[in-house]
Chain A
Amino acid sequence: MNFTESQILRYSRHIIIPEVGGEGQQKICAGKVLIIGTGGLGSPVAFYLAAAGVGKLGIIDDDVVDLSNLQRQILHSTNDVGRPKVESASEKLTALNPDIDVVTYHERLTSKNIMDIIQDYDVVVDATDNFSTRFVTNDACVIAGKPFFHGGVLRFAGQALTVIPGQGPCFRCIFHEPPPQGSVPSCSQAGVLGVLAGTIGLIQATEVLKYFLDKGELLVGRLLTYDALDMKFREVAVKKNPACPVCGDNPTITELVDYELPACAF
Chain B
Amino acid sequence: MRRVKLAEDHINAKLDITSEVCPITFVKTKLKLEQLKTGEILEVILNDGEPIQNMPRSVKGEGHKIVLVEQLGDKYRLLIEKGE
| A residues lining the B interface (CB < 8 Å) | 3, 8-9, 12, 15-16, 18, 21-23
Give Cα A23–Cα B35 distance, bound, in whole angstroms.
10
7 nearest A-B residue pairs (beta carbon): A22-B31, A12-B27, A22-B34, A15-B27, A16-B23, A8-B27, A12-B24
The binding surface of chain A is classed by DSSP as: helix
Using known A-B contacts A12-B23, A16-B23, determine if residue A21 contacts B30 with beta carbons closer than 8 Å.
yes
Q: Can you name 21 A-B residue pairings with CB atoms under 8 Å?
A: A8-B24, A8-B27, A8-B28, A8-B31, A9-B24, A12-B23, A12-B24, A12-B27, A15-B27, A15-B30, A15-B31, A16-B26, A16-B27, A16-B30, A18-B62, A21-B30, A21-B31, A21-B34, A22-B31, A22-B34, A23-B34
Nearest-Cβ distance from residue A215 to partner chain B, whole angstroms: 16
Q: Which residue among B27, B28, B30 has the maximum number of chain A CB atoms within 10 Å of its CB?
A: B27
Give Cα A9–Cα B34 distance, bound, in whole angstroms.
17
Q: Specify the chain A residue showing the minimal Cβ separation from B26.
A: A16
**Chain A residues whose C-beta falls within 8 Å of the C-beta of B28 in the assembled complex:** 8
A-contact 0/1 string along B35-75, CB 8 Å cutoff: 00000000000000000000000000010000000000000
Interface size class of B (residues with CB under 8 A): under 10
Nearest-Cβ distance from residue B37 to partner chain A, whole angstroms: 14
Other than A15-B27, A15-B31, A21-B34, give 16 A-B pairs with Cβ distance below 8 A. Answer: A3-B31, A8-B24, A8-B27, A8-B28, A12-B23, A12-B24, A12-B27, A15-B30, A16-B23, A16-B27, A16-B30, A18-B62, A21-B30, A22-B30, A22-B34, A23-B34
